[in-house]
Chain A
Amino acid sequence: RKEVEQDPGPFNVPEGATVAFNCTYSNSASQSFFWYRQDCRKEPKLLMSVYSSGNEDGRFTAQLNRASQYISLLIRDSKLSDSATYLCVVRYRHSGSARQLTFGSGTQLTVLP
């Protein structure tokens, strides 16, 4: 079983739609959680961190459920520019490095005009 699992999609949604992605993680010692965005053939970039109380950044809302070990990302009022792959990322303390990240394989989103 992968440590971080995501539905690979693809999700094809019309402009203006609301779309949600879920992600589950297997290591209960996980400490920090993030969503990264990756455009086609580009490097991943941090979209937002995920806090236990949930957090919002404009049209993006991230939530964490530690008891169920899942993370979600909600995108409201989708724009064409939101088309990308969204990576769920978990950090937990490894024996060698405290700051290693484990990446999900990503969920592909295409927003259609």
Chain B
Amino acid sequence: IAGITQAPTSQILAAGRRMTLRCTQDMRHNAMYWYRQDLGLGLRLIHYSNTAGTTGKGEVPDGYSVSRANTDDFPLTLASAVPSQTSVYFCASSDSAGTQYFGPGTRLTVL
């Protein structure tokens, strides 16, 4: 692994289903983030984690949960997906200087 990986690349999901988006980084960065990107709205922060064992809410946290059991992994869970959660989801981590590095994204469609 080099950098940040996300899985799946894309997913079509029925409304009401539970879904976990995976994110793994191998850069040993302490801070990690989940964003969603929607046309005309830019990137919006969903949740973040400053270090393993801690998480915080971003701008649009409702309907999403995260966990940070270790440094490398930061999964995002949609407990009961709704169509408004159709979006492109980016995971990111930041180095000690605060520069953020993004994963390739997950395209999620909720029907």
* Chain A residues proximal to chain B, CB less than 8 Å: 4, 8, 32, 34, 41-46, 49, 87, 91, 96-101, 103-106
- CA of A99 to CA of B100 in the docked complex: distance in angstroms? 9
Least Cβ distance of A90 to chain B in Å? 12
Question: From B90, which residue of chain A is reached at the shortest CB distance?
Answer: A43
A–B Cβ pairs within 8 angstroms, 9 of them: A41-B105, A43-B90, A46-B99, A87-B43, A96-B48, A96-B50, A97-B48, A100-B45, A103-B35
Interface residues of B (CB under 8 A from A): 31, 33, 35, 40-45, 48, 50, 56-58, 90, 94, 98-105
Alpha-carbon distance between A99 and B49 when the two chains are bound, in angstroms: 10
Q: How far is the CB of A82 from chain B (nearest CB, A)?
A: 20
Known interface pairs A32-B98, A45-B102, A96-B48; A104-B56 also in contact (CB < 8 Å): no
What is the bound-complex CA distance between A1 and B101, given in angstroms?
27
Q: Does B45 lie within 8 Å of A44, measured CB to CB?
A: no
Question: A106 to chain B: which residues have CB within 8 Å?
Answer: 42
Residue of A nearest to B57 (CB): A96
Q: What is the bound-complex CA distance between A4 and B43, given in angstroms?
A: 11
Check A103/B42 contact, CB under 8 A, given A43-B90, A97-B56. Answer: yes
- Residue in B42, B58, B90, B105 whose beta carbon sits within 8 Å of that of A100 in the complex: B58
